[in-house]
Amino acid sequence: MKKMKILLAVFVFFGLFTHAQSDADTAWKIKSDVSLMFSQASFTNWAAGGENNITLNGFFNFYAGYIKGKSKWENILGLAYGQNKTGSRAFRKSEDKIDFLSNYGLKASDKWFYSVNFNFKSQFTEGYDYHADTMNKTKISNFLAPAYISLGIGMEYKPYEFMSFYLSPSTARWLIVNDQELADGGSFGVEPAKYSQFDSTGLPVIESKYQDGDKTKFEFGAYFRFMFVKDIIKNVNISTKLELFSDYLKDPQNIDINWDTMIKMQVNSWLAASVGMLMLYDHDTPVKDKDGNTGPRTQIKELLSIGVTYKIAN
């Protein structure tokens, strides 16, 4: 819960910072919003049964764009963190995202730009797989584990201010797993540690490790991105970002997918509700299903919440 308070304080700080920036430098187009979303269910002597639960999520979205002559530079930062408590269990992470995009374009024609694209993705804190039949948990992610850094050159087509298509046939991507325990296990597709001894079940004997797992992995391939952000009706905004990546160096037929969609409904100047869905597919990230089978699978996360929001724009 202490981490939750710290991260919420970070969201508020960013909101105040961008407010100062929007007043100080009107040459930039700056927009941001901070949201604290809350949901709760409580049961007392409820014959049908149920467990008390509470969820608190914080979101910060920031946009800074500058256009001068033929040059265009856009920067988008999305931060999210949340925790959930059900029954007597301790708080568990329900949301965690760091996503920064920077795109510089040089106008080629009316709606086309030669573009350089930079993207960084990670998360704030550890993530765990909680075992249903025990109190044990297994760490499966951490800060900078994973993290993705990509840099590419390509073309952007922007038919409208609220819509863009970007295609890069030349994008370098670095996968970082900055947690040796996870790297040793080969998490997220890095090369795992090497061992000289194994027990009777086939698991490696830790003391026999003679080479650490790699903390980084390099990929080079083609990248496509579609973005759409628009008020579709009054007080209802939809934002969606679809990203596709194919690694030329290994199994280029396997396409990594990252599709993030959020619908925000503004009740009044402070109160808002949101519905979100994130869909991921990465052939190098094995996922264990309910039957214990492990392999690449489509990952889906959904979110429905209501709370307060504060917007800044110039």
Query: Tell me: the pLDDT tens digits for 119-143?
Result: 999 999 999 988 776 678 889 999 9
pLDDT given for residue 288 in this prediction: 73
pLDDT over 60 at 62, yes or no: yes
pLDDT given for residue 313 in this prediction: 74
pLDDT over 60 at 25, yes or no: no
Is position 117 within any domain? yes
pLDDT given for residue 133 in this prediction: 63
Q: Which domain covers residue 256, as residue numbers?
A: 2-178+215-313
> 82 phi and psi, to 5 degrees?
-160, 160
The larger pLDDT score, comparing residue 80 to residue 295, is at: 80
Is position 201 within any domain? no
Is position 287 within any domain? yes
Q: How far apart are CA 100 and CA 149, in angstroms?
A: 10
Is position 125 within any domain? yes
The b-or-e profile of 117-146 (16+ CB within 10 A means b, else e) is bebbbbbbebbeeeeeeeeeeeebbbeebb
pLDDT over 50 at 22, yes or no: no
pLDDT given for residue 296 in this prediction: 84
pLDDT given for residue 222 in this prediction: 98
Q: What is the token pair recorded at 213?
A: 């797992």
Q: What is the tens place of the pLDDT at every residue in 205-231?
A: 988 999 999 999 999 999 999 999 999
pLDDT over 60 at 149, yes or no: yes
Is position 116 within any domain? yes
Q: What is the token pair recorded at 198?
A: 């194994």
13, containing H or E segment: helix 2-24
Q: What is the mean pLDDT of the chain?
A: 88
pTM above 0.85, yes or no: yes
Is position 96 within any domain? yes
Is position 194 within any domain? no
pLDDT given for residue 24 in this prediction: 43
pLDDT given for residue 107 in this prediction: 96
Strand partners, 200: none
pLDDT over 50 at 20, yes or no: no
pLDDT over 90 at 253, yes or no: yes
Is position 197 within any domain? no
pLDDT given for residue 163 in this prediction: 97
Looking at the structure of the chain, the number of domains it has is 1
Q: How far apart are CA 266 and CA 234, in angstroms?
A: 9
Residue 219's domain is classified under what CATH number?
2.40.230
